Amino acid sequence: MRTALTQLTGVDFPIFAFTHCRDVVAAVTNAGGMGVLGAVAHTPEGLDVDLTWIREQTKGRPFGVDLLIPRKYVGSEEGGMEAESLRALVPEEHREWIDALLARYDVPPLPAGRGEGGERQMRVDPKSMAPLIDIAFGHGVALIASALGTPPAWLVERAHAAGVPVAALAGRLDHAVAHKEAGVDIVIAQGTEGGGHTGEIATMVLVPQVVDAVAPTPVLAAGGIATGRQMAAALALGAEGVWCGSVWLTTNEAETSPAVKEKFLAATSADTRRSRSLTGKPARMLRSAWTDAWDAADAPAPLGMPLQSILVSEAQRRIQRVAHKAGTGARELATYFVGQVVGQMNEPKATRRVVAEMVEEFVATMERLGRLTSGE
């Protein structure tokens, strides 16, 4: 295929895969798209190990790295706060409410020695992002992407000095325009259908507006795209490619926890919620007893980012540890970020097959659409 983004990035097909799993990154890249590793919870050492592995697997083919760089978060005015100071800001009543919730569902505590502190923690301040970015550039990434705000000028400058295009997610038109003004090379217009942090405007409505407003900057369409027909629709809206996140979560390579994978495979498109319960900012995830509890009248208001993640991280580990076993209510509570396309994810597949089926269905769709006007 040939679009502005296949030419800019060197991919065969303009299918960009956001994923936290390095095996999925390598599989998508090797299938002709571009895998982009979500690195928000990586340590610099961990990112170095994963990118070294991906580079070995992909042999010169392009892959990228994605970071969350929110503009507003607790401590942003001071340029970020130390973990201990942040932990001290978590109110006791929130902790007690979560403990009571987990007790109601018979979720046992973590075994001794695996308590708070050992978890892979999401970081949000630019100070802790800089070493990750250095490592990404050191591994020759073909794309650097960021979400939750316009990327800071230092990131855009460093990327351009290294010859790496910068992509940024936008859920609203004004965000997209601000990204372009900041020198972003690719705008990812993400509709509310998408998994993870998401706005309120649908992909079908957002993408053409963004395409027109940021032209000639190329746009990737995101949110609700998992098949070739959806890809054709995205390109019809003026996008130069697609950016998909949810569809990889039920692939054979995905590290999604077994109970959540099963729940995803059984879920319908009506089973997701936008909820602040995992990170403090609205993110689409599977509806579960956890999201219902946070929506209930007795629930405390979710905290700001990153306090909410700090608050729930141990609880989430407790739930995930036993969610696949009988005898507790952890399975009911288990949830994870996913978009409305979860209703189309009904069987586990190899990542390579997901890409191949998207391309095949895209080609068939273009042929069908071509016949609509060719008179054949």
> Rule CB under 6 A: which residues touch ligand FMN?
18, 38, 40, 66, 68, 145, 147, 169, 190, 193-196, 222-225, 243-247, 337-339, 341
Cα separations in angstroms, 120 against 41, 142, 314, 316, 346: 6, 26, 10, 12, 29
Closest approach, Cβ 68 to ligand FMN, in A, equals 5
Torsion of CA 39, 41, 45, 50, to 10 degrees: -40
Closest approach, Cβ 103 to ligand FMN, in A, equals 28
Closest approach, Cβ 267 to ligand FMN, in A, equals 13
Please count the other Cβ atoms lying within 10 Å of the Cβ belonging to residue 190.
Answer: 33
- Write a three-state SS string for 219-268: EEEECCCCCHHHHHHHHHCCCCEEEECHHHHHECCCCCCHHHHHHHHHCC
Compute the distance between CA of residue 5 and CA of residue 220 in angstroms, rounded to an integer.
Answer: 8
- The residue whose Cβ lies closest to ligand FMN is 245
Compute the distance between CA of residue 233 and CA of residue 101 in angstroms, rounded to an integer.
Answer: 43
Closest approach, Cβ 334 to ligand FMN, in A, equals 14
Compute the distance between CA of residue 74 and CA of residue 375 in angstroms, rounded to an integer.
Answer: 60
Please count the other Cβ atoms lying within 10 Å of the Cβ belonging to residue 149.
Answer: 20
Which is closer to ligand FMN, CB of 32 or CB of 38?
Answer: 38
Strands (E), the chain: 15-19, 34-38, 63-68, 143-147, 166-170, 186-190, 196-197, 219-222, 241-244, 272-275, 283-286
Closest approach, Cβ 226 to ligand FMN, in A, equals 6
The token duo for 307 is 């306090």
Beta-bridged to residue 241, according to DSSP, are: 220
Closest approach, Cβ 358 to ligand FMN, in A, equals 12
Sign of CA dihedral 199, 201, 204, 208: negative
